Amino acid sequence: MHFSNLGLSQNIVRGVRAVGYNEPTPIQAQAIPVILSGRDLIGIAQTGTGKTAAFVLPILEKLKNGRGLRCLVLTPTRELAAQVETSVRDYARFMQMHYAAIYGGVSMGPQIGALRRGVDIIVATPGRLLDHMNRRNVQFSQLQILVLDEADRMLDMGFLPDIKRIISALPRKRQTLLFSATVPIEIEQLARQILVNPALVEIGRRTTPAEGVTQFLYPVPRHLKMKLLLKILQTTATTSVLIFTRTKNGADKVSRILHERGHSAAHIHGDRSQSQRSQSLHGFRTGRYKILVATDIAARGLDIEGISHVINYDTPATPEDYVHRIGRTARAQAVGDAFTLVSPEEEEIIRAIERSLKKALPRVTVPDFDYRAAAPPRSARPSFPRGQERTFSRSRRGHNARR
């Protein structure tokens, strides 16, 4: 299967090739012809499946002739909006297309300027778009296509009323595309209200991690997690590491300590300002920071190439979050490792994750690490699950794996 067989014109296929993609991913192969046919679509797909190109490419095809604001893409976060905008720029590089990303946390001025000059596509977060709508900076009379990207996430973040207000300002006759990783009841209801006879394309509901991710558990008493993390970073060959914490405070603390220990680390979470988040992300993407510490929400939908390691400093809350987190590495056929530090209190969620993956994850101990250090007297022994005494050496990183 080639992009040129999907009904895309030469300039668009050239744009995709220039980015380095030769073959469409499954969601692209299925969704692109449907979108080109004009039908509404529900795409059940996570980030990492190639869903952005699955809607951007046919939209470029449909908009290639003509002018005016004809497509609106709504996303839950500024980061995702910026990412979708980058995709539009990349794929449209051999054609004339005007577009703008509209999101909060940055000044309105340049966005107003772009809207006045005229755009074909807007990629926006709901809140800031409504600000512009209230000020009459934007009008949708020519709109043909609406995309809701990561719709479940937008609902989680409380954007449903905003989305409904935005949709009420759009022409009723339009094509609507809704992408969501999950389909909770609220999404079903929304889909019934705003889509007409949609085609359903469901791709790799990733209940299993991408191939190429090697996963290890590092059982450790809670109070030794930071020490173990430092030891792992010291003894493992990494190029680019994404570390997850459960809380914003945790992200602050881990990043600060890593920094104090001489690691180049940045962090992102919901309480940081847009410029701080952008600066951290940009620094991580460009290699200035080797480590990025993030909470689940802040990292949602992030697409960063070349992450060699995902480290779960805290276990994720659900098996789905686990798969989502470790999906940040080994994207698009690369390889990567995912490590999870597991305190005894977190064993239960690990068991749920293993059940969901239908396999036991290998448990690893780090040689020369004092698992008994500074333990409170009553629980001085590190707690490992029983029956996992057999050890063997993983020479690549010199840690001992227990299965």
Residue pair 243/311 in contact by the 8 Å Cβ criterion: yes
Stretch of 45-53, 66-74, 220-228, 275-283 contacting ligand AMP, by CB under 6 A = 45-53
Does 153 bind ligand AMP (CB under 6 A)? Our answer is no
Nearer to ligand AMP, 49 or 236 (CB): 49
Q: Which residue is nearest to ligand AMP (CB)?
A: 52
**∠ Cα 316 319 323 (to 5°):** 85
Binding of ligand AMP by 25 (CB under 6 A)? yes
State yes or no: residue 48 binds ligand AMP (CB under 6 A): yes
- What is the signed CA dihedral for 281, 286, 288, 291, rounded to 10 degrees? 50
Q: Please, which residue, 133 or 304, has the CB nearer to ligand AMP?
A: 304
- Answer yes or no: are the C-beta atoms of 341 and 220 closer than 8 Å: yes
Using alpha carbons, list the distances in angstroms from residue 153 to 147, 168, 178, 328.
14, 20, 12, 17
Q: Give the residue from 60, 26, 21 showing the smallest Cα distance to 44.
A: 26
Q: Which CB, 99 or 216, lies closer to ligand AMP?
A: 99
Residue 231 in contact with ligand AMP, rule: CB under 6 A: no
Name which position in 8, 34, 35, 53 contacts ligand AMP (CB under 6 A).
Answer: 53
Distance CA 49, CA 301 (A): 11
Choosing from 303, 320, 347, 354, the residue that interacts with ligand AMP (CB under 6 A) is: 303
Task: By CB under 6 A, tell whether 331 contacts ligand AMP.
Answer: yes
Binding flag, residue 49, ligand AMP (CB under 6 A) = yes
Give the residue from 21, 99, 57, 120 showing the smallest Cα distance to 332: 21
Please, what is the minimum distance in Å from the beta carbon of residue 155 to ligand AMP?
19
The binder of ligand AMP chosen from 43, 50, 76, 250 (CB under 6 A): 50
Can you tell me the distance from the alpha carbon of 208 to that of 356, in angstroms, rounded to the nearest whole number? 8
Instruction: Answer yes or no whether residue 21 interacts with ligand AMP by CB under 6 A.
Output: yes
Using CA atoms, how far apart are residues 256 and 42, in angstroms rounded to an integer? 42
Where along the sequence are the contacts to ligand AMP (CB under 6 A)? Answer: 21, 23-25, 28, 47-53, 303, 331-332
